[in-house]
């Protein structure tokens, strides 16, 4: 076992490490600079019985103003390789760096996921998807550390529990830590069929047509920028965790929500949270004149709860609860968070 004493330790807050820019102090932050280093750290910290939180890019994480009384391991390994049609990246590698490198190498399959914030390790947790592609569509295998056994294992995708919307066995579980991910892409000059009208329009093609992966990537990035979904430190509309609320999946749709657009799901019927929020009276930009004005919905769409500058986690929770209660009162549907809430709730 390696010696974690040699690692980098600093004092900081979650507001400095997360895309929403809220959250209190961290007792001890340790940056894992390689996969082997990460395993050594996890084994040592668990053996000592110290409270442990593992994080990547902080794009799906909201931590309370009290912070974390224990150790935070930030996955920050640069390990990344392309071998033929296989792309392998450590959990701490920036996700969009992988997409950009794959496209530059003439590989297709990841371009619809361009501009998604966060790190590689977070993609399977959420089964991140955009514009017709899911992480599980291109996932070949993962290397996983099991904190309950201390073992490092290689997992196939069918062990990950994908299926229902944005779900996996990793979500809201502290047992497994993803160490690296291998993706299987394809060589060729064309993307998969483009199924989203806005992307097809930007490309000047019909829905169902194809284009070069590089052109699809640029169209996706342009679309995401228009919707304020590409991180920009100077734009408060991007100070968020992306979609704060998950699309609810219900066994039975309440009568009051019967007009909501739906999609089938293996666990029932999936409702569009954005529609529910909008129809409940919360327009894009709502919140700028509510409360103390530090938290509001994105001015471009209703799923993103944004920090307008100076917000606390308490402000975010109060605002999210206000949106949740408004939707529940009108439609009898409870909205739950898509992001991870640590030491906070609404």
Phi, psi torsion values for 198, nearest 5 degrees: -65, -35
> Which tokens belong to 255?
């009568």
Helix, strand, coil percentages, rounded to 5, for the chain: 30, 25, 45
Q: Which of 59, 85, 217, 338 is catalytic?
A: 338
Cα gap 228→274, rounded to integer Å: 15
Distances (CA, A) of 216 to 129, 195, 196, 203, 239: 15, 12, 11, 7, 25
Cα gap 253→245, rounded to integer Å: 18
* C-alpha closest to that of 245 among 283, 224, 271: 271
C-beta neighbour count of 193 within 10 angstroms: 14
338 is catalytic: yes
* C-alpha closest to that of 227 among 94, 104, 117, 95: 117
Left (φ > 0), alpha (ψ -120 to 50) or beta: where does 276 sit? alpha
166 is catalytic: yes
Q: Which of 168, 240, 243, 298 is catalytic?
A: 243
Cα gap 59→120, rounded to integer Å: 11
Q: Which of 166, 202, 224, 324 is catalytic?
A: 166
Helices assigned H by DSSP within the chain:
35-48, 95-104, 122-126, 135-138, 197-203, 213-226, 273-279, 313-331
308 is catalytic: no
> Which tokens belong to 102?
């794959």
Catalytic residues: 166, 243, 338
């Amino acid at each position: 076992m390696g010696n974690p004493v040699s690692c980098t330790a600093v004092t900081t807050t979650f507001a400095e490490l997360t895309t929403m820019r809220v959250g209190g102090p961290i007792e001890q932050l340790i940056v894992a600079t390689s996969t082997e280093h990460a395993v050594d750290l996890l084994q040592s910290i668990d053996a000592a019985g110290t409270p442990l939180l593992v994080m990547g890019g902080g794009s799906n994480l909201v931590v309370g103003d009290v912070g974390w009384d224990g150790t935070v391991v930030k996955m920050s390994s640069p390990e990344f390789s392309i071998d033929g049609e296989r792309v392998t990246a450590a959990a701490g590698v920036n996700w969009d760096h992988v997409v950009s490198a794959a496209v530059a190498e003439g590989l297709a399959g990841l371009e619809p996921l361009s501009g998604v914030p966060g790190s590689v390790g977070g993609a399977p947790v959420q089964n991140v998807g955009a514009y017709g592609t899911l992480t599980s569509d291109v996932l070949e295998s993962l290397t996983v550390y099991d904190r309950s056994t201390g073992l490092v294992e290689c997992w196939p995708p069918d062990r990950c529990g994908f299926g229902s919307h944005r779900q996996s066995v990793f979500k809201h579980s502290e047992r497994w830590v993803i160490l690296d991910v291998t993706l299987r892409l394809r060589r060729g000059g064309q993307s998969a069929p483009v199924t989203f009208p806005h992307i097809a329009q930007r490309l000047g093609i019909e829905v169902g047509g194809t284009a070069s992966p590089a052109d699809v990537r640029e169209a996706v990035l342009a679309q995401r920028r228009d919707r304020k979904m590409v991180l920009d430190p100077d734009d408060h509309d991007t100070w968020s965790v992306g979609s704060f609320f998950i699309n609810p999946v219900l066994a039975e749709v309440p009568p009051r929500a019967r007009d909501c657009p739906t999609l089938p799901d293996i666990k029932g019927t999936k409702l569009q949270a954005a529609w529910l929020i909008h129809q409940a009276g919360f327009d894009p930009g709502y919140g700028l004149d509510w409360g103390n004005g530090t938290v509001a919905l994105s001015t471009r769409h209703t799923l993103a709860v944004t920090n307008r500058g100076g917000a606390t986690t308490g402000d975010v929770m109060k605002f999210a609860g206000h949106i949740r209660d408004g939707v529940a009162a009108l439609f009898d549907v409870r909205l739950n968070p898509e992001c991870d809430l640590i030491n906070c709730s609404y």
